[in-house]
Amino acid sequence: MMEFQKRRLQGVSAVLAAGTGYALMSILVKGAFQLGLGPTQVIVLQSWISSLLLLIYAAFFKREIFKIKLHSLKLLVVQGVVGTLGTSLLYAYSLQFLPVSVAILLLYLYPALVLVAGVLIWRKRVSRREMIAFLLTFAGTTLASGIFSGVSGVAWVGIILGLAAAMAYASFNIVGELVLAEVSPLVAMCYSQWVCAIVLLFVLKGNIMSIPWQDAQTWKIGLLLATVASIIPFYMILVGIDRLGSDEAAILSTFELPMTFILAAVFLNEFPARDQWIGGGLVLGGILLLNWRSQSERNEEDLYKERTD
C-alpha cells in the first residue's frame, strides 16, 4: 500500500510539474518579446537549443533512436512541421495580439477539434457526454475571447492565430496517435524537434545571425524555453502517465490552464476579466468531461486490448 501511494504521489507531482512548465512557456515567450525578439526568433531559440540537447543525449545514451523505419519517419516529419512547428509559431504570434489568458484558452480548443476530426474523418460516434464537453469548450472560448464585449475590443488577428494554433495542435495529437503506435514518446519528441529545427533554417533563409546570440539574456531565455518549458515538462508528463495511467494524467494535466492564468497575473500583471474566468471554467469542465473515463469504460477498454493483443 505504501509503495502504491508513493508511486501515485510521484505521478501527481510529475503531472503538476509538467503543467507548471508548460504554463511558463507563455510567460517566457512574452518575456522574449520584451527583449526585442520576434515570434519566429523565439521559436528558433527554443527549437534549436532543445534539438541540440536532445541530439547530445541521443548520441551518448540512446543511439537506437537513430534507427527508425521510413514510414515512421514520414509521419514524424508531418508531426514536426504541422504539429510542433505550426503550433509553436502560431501560438507565439497570437501572443503578440492577445493576453496570455485568452491565447491559452483558444489553444485549449484542441480537444474539441480532435473530437470533430474523429467524427468527420473516421465517422466516430459522439456520446452525449462528448457533445456536452464540446459545447462547454466552444462556449467557454467564445466567451473568453471577448467577442461579447464588442467588436472593437476584439483582436481578430490574434483570435484567428489562436484558433489556427489549436487546429495545428489538434493535428499534432491526431498524427501522434499514429506515430506512437510505431515509436516511443522519446523518439517522437526527438524527431519532432529535429524536423522543426531543420525547417526553421529555411524559414530564416539561412540568416542565423538575425538572432542576437552575443546577448546573454537571449541564451538565458532560450535555455529556459528549451528545458523548463519543453524537455522537462515532456519528461514529467511521461512519468505521470507511467505512475497514474493516461486517463488520470490527462485530467490532471488540465492544471496548466488555471496555472497559466495565475502566472500571467504574477509575472505579467495580466489579470483575466470576469468573462475570461467564466470561460476558463467552462473550458476546464469540457476538457475534464472529454478525458473522463468511468470504471466500466476502463474495464471495457482493458478487455478490448487483451483481446486484440
CA terminus-to-terminus distance, the chain = 30
Q: Helix, strand, coil proportions of the chain in percent (round to 5)?
A: 85, 0, 15
Is 65 inside any structural domain? no
Note whether residue 220 is domain-resident: yes
What does the alpha-carbon distance between residue 250 and residue 240 come to, in Å, rounded to a whole number?
A: 9
- Grid coordinates of 209: 545571425
Query: Which domain does 252 fall in, by range?
Result: 1-37+214-272
Q: Of 55, 8, 2, 15, whose CA–CA distance to 259 is shortest?
A: 15
- Count of domains in the chain? 1
Mean pLDDT for the stretch of residues 211-229: 90
Of 36-40, 45-49, 187-191, 233-237, the range with the lowest mean pLDDT is 233-237
- Structural domain includes residue 11: yes
Average pLDDT over all residues of the chain: 80
Assess if residue 290 is contained within a domain.
Answer: no
**Distance of alpha carbon 273 from alpha carbon 112, whole angstroms:** 24
List Cα–Cα distances, 5 to 10, 244, 255, in angstroms.
Answer: 9, 11, 21
Is the whole model's pTM more than 0.95, yes or no?
no
Residue 149 maps to a domain: no
Question: What average pLDDT score do residues 55-81 get?
Answer: 90
Percent of the chain clearing pLDDT 90 (strictly above): 20
Closest to 83 (Cα-Cα) out of 22, 168, 166, 163: 168
Residue 30 lies in a domain: yes
Residue 33's pLDDT is 92
Q: Is residue 242 part of a domain?
A: yes
Position 26 in a domain: yes
